[in-house]
A and B are shown apart, each in its own frame.
Chain A
């Protein structure tokens, strides 16, 4: 019950932020030259007719003034109607729901991969600080972090899909294969291996650096010396005493990065032809599809708020002192 009340308070507190983001986004897009009809005409490649263009503007409601358009949008939003997408010809909520599973799947997979592998590597590096494992791990981390993800993705495709033919070169699942159940899950998993690694490697580098630094800091604290003095073996000290305390900065980081990742990764989604939110957002900007773009912003903002709420709950669990203070 207390959790629900807290959640409600959090949501209420973020409403003004949400409003500012949406209105700001709306006005920013007005600054971009051209509208969705221009984008549509650009797709036809020639023979644009001014009369047809005027008809289309009326059809999309673009002949109204900017304040009137904004007013209409907000009034619809109050009724939880995200509007109609001009590129897709369907309600924005449907368009976003279609893309959400792929994004969530990719993000969860990439984030978990980065978190757990980063954690293990960070601990290993901290335990052999300045030894060869530390140097190796840190160097690798730096290489992953410094490499652009599109290059990583393309090289992975060239190696694993083109030359070795182990994994598919792109797409979300085998097209038209009609797999169901476990077979389908395996098929999707196979398609997601390369994108997950590509996206995860960059975050992995950050996590392992943070974990290493955090471990080193906690290892130097008094209670660790006490634990050692009690005669605990090193593994027990690291797992039971150090790790739990060193995890706090990691959890903070996950909360922050979940937001970034939920916005989708345009680059990875483009390279691997995945139907995610990032590509949808990019497409909406290029096509000036205001409703879809604002819808994505709205959904992402809500997701970020929820993830941060969960992170707060997790803090309390990891460190009882944080929860007790409230």
Chain B
């Protein structure tokens, strides 16, 4: 489809006003009980239990059935969920949670500290992605009484880090369901049992998942909805058509085509917005393999960064849903964003050419200096566009790039395990605190084959020192300062480049009420969501 400049302006104006206009307009309406929420479910998951797998594809279902220790409030601060209050010992090695009373599992058994202990030790620490790293130094969870859980750490654990991380990585599973079984094969992995506002009913592979209202939910008189249906629709265009036909009311996590965001944004029946996904920021990366001597030269890496016109790419391909990134910590991270005042690489083709000349790579036949392979990750339309843009931009400064497209398994194996790449590009997902999923991209000593970690063959003692210091620093102000040092250092050394910042895009049918009212709304429990007539 083609968009005229005027239409594009109108779209962005409409989007801007919809972002600025909060849902207070609906505040006077009386919530209606009943109704069925239908959700686009793009990729089928092997498991639905968020205690075992921390990913958006699991939260979109499991997050309504199971609940985390803490949630985020409208302003993005940790707020009680299964944990009512918390405190840290002065040395940061013991963190005590007081648990909510009167909460029952969907099968009627009471929720106690034993469930928290079991989940933390057997699932978060041993199996859950991100969790294994976060809880690496967790030695025990003590349960002095059924409503108290004391997390004991070998090294100081910053309270703020743990609280923010537990909103995503703190989903609790029932001990009595999993104890004594092989956790990976437990039937509850695809038929989750939780404490949440909705009870799992049915999962028909390739078709749908259904959850029904939990009448014994601990938040009295919630939820409003009778039922949630997730419809498995693999084709993006078909999903957009189902939204238009009213068969789907919500498409989460940028699951539709970029062109459809613009088209549905013009339609008064829908709201297309990044609101409610602020907790799920990601940056587009450009990763360098230091085993290629060309790329081990910092002048070449900087030349590549200078050769790409990022604002042009964002404006023409990603539209209003992306902005110029300034480093590994995105601007939505209010606690740790160090500001844009860090070493940056503005588009400057002359400088790029000069740097490459200086590095001794003269243009040869056909104006080509050297060849590189670029591996784009297969998730996300933006990555495919970005890789083509990189290819064409580098052509201009005499670097010929061959784009090697692989599917998900092939990409991970080739780039992060076999190290058989020159350049790679994908997403870095930021999860509330740099220590959860960001610093591993830079810290040396990552085991070979661990994806989304430092597999570049780059090692910098100074970076390692800052990361380790921040990891156990208990004073929030000092931590923030350390992370600013970290960003300055890695933006200077440029082991990988994170020049674009994005937030997932949601498409809502406007019949929904109380949507997008916290920064991780798509993942959250939807207990207060309701449907207007």
A positions within 8 Å CB-CB of B: 32-36, 38-53, 56, 59, 86-89, 95, 98-99, 150, 153-154, 157-158, 161-162, 165, 168-172, 175-176, 270-276, 279-280, 283, 286-288
Contact yes or no, B227 A45, CB < 8 A? no
Residues of A within 8 A of B131 (CB): 47
Q: Is the CB of A49 within 8 A of B133?
A: yes
* Complex Cα spacing A47 to B441, Å: 10
Q: Is B216 an interface residue (CB 8 A)?
A: no
Across chains A and B, the number of contacting residue pairs, with CB separation under 8 Å, is 185
Using A47-B54, A89-B190 as known contacts, say yes or no to A165 and B448 having CB atoms under 8 A apart: no
Residues of A within 8 A of B235 (CB): 150, 270-271, 273
The range of chain B's interface size is 35 or more
Rounded to whole Å, the gap between the CB of A278 and the closest CB of chain B is: 11
Contact of B452 among A39, A48, A52, A280 (CB under 8 A): A48
B12: Cβ under 8 A from any A Cβ: no
Tell me the complex Cα distance, A251–B237, Å: 36
Q: Are A95's CB and B205's CB within 8 A? A: yes
CB-contact partner of A41 in B36, B231, B412, under 8 A: B412
Binding site for A on B (CB under 8 A): 36, 43-46, 53-57, 126-133, 184-185, 189-190, 202, 204-208, 210, 227, 229, 231-235, 237-238, 241-242, 244-245, 247, 379, 406-414, 417-418, 429, 431, 436-437, 440, 447-453
> Within 8 Å CB of B379, what residues of A?
42, 45
Contact A45 B238 (CB under 8 A): no
- What 6 A-B pairs come out closest when comparing CB atoms? A34-B409, A47-B130, A275-B206, A47-B129, A42-B408, A50-B447
In the assembly, what is the distance between CA of A171 and CA of B205, in Å? 12
A48–B450 Cα gap in the complex (Å)?
6
Establish whether residues A49 and B129, one from each chain, have CB atoms under 8 Å apart when the complex forms. Answer: yes
Q: Are B447 and A280 in touch, CB under 8 angstroms?
A: no
Provide the bound-state CA to CA distance between A243 and B56, in Å: 59
Contact at A275–B241, with CB atoms within 8 Å?
A: no
Q: A87-B46, A154-B238 are in contact. Are A47 and B245 (CB under 8 A)?
A: no
- In angstroms, how far is the closest chain B Cβ from the Cβ of A326? 43
Tell me the complex Cα distance, A32–B227, Å: 41
Contact of B206 among A59, A165, A169, A279 (CB under 8 A): A279
In the bound complex, residues from chain A placing their C-beta under 8 Å from that of B202 are 176
Is the beta-carbon distance between B207 and A44 smaller than 8 angstroms?
A: no
Complex CA gap A100/B305 in Å reads 51
A154-B241 contact in complex given A32-B410, A44-B54, A89-B189, C-beta closer than 8 Å = yes
A153 to B242, CA, bound (A): 13
Residue contact B409 to A50, C-beta cutoff 8 Å: no
Specify which of A34, A154, A161, A275 is in contact with B412 (CB 8 Å cutoff).
A34
For B206, give the chain A residue with the smallest CB separation.
A275
List B contacts of A158 (CB < 8 A): 241
Of B54, B238, B414, most A-chain CB atoms within 10 Å: B238
Residues on B with C-beta less than 8 A from A45 are 55-57, 129, 379, 429
Q: Measured between C-beta atoms, what is the minimum distance from B414 to chain A in Å?
A: 5
- Please tell me if the beta carbons of B46 and A40 are within 8 angstroms of each other in the complex: yes
List of B residues within 8 angstroms of A32 by Cβ: 409-410
Question: With A and B bound together, what is the CA distance between A86 and B409 in angstroms?
Answer: 14
Q: Which residues of A contact B205 (CB under 8 A)?
A: 88, 95, 98, 275
In the complex, the answer to whether B241 meets A46 with C-beta atoms within 8 Å is no
Q: Which residue of B lies closest to A39 (CB)?
A: B409
Do A52 and B229 touch across chains, with their CB atoms under 8 A apart?
A: no
User: Is the beta-carbon distance between B129 and A44 smaller than 8 angstroms?
Assistant: yes
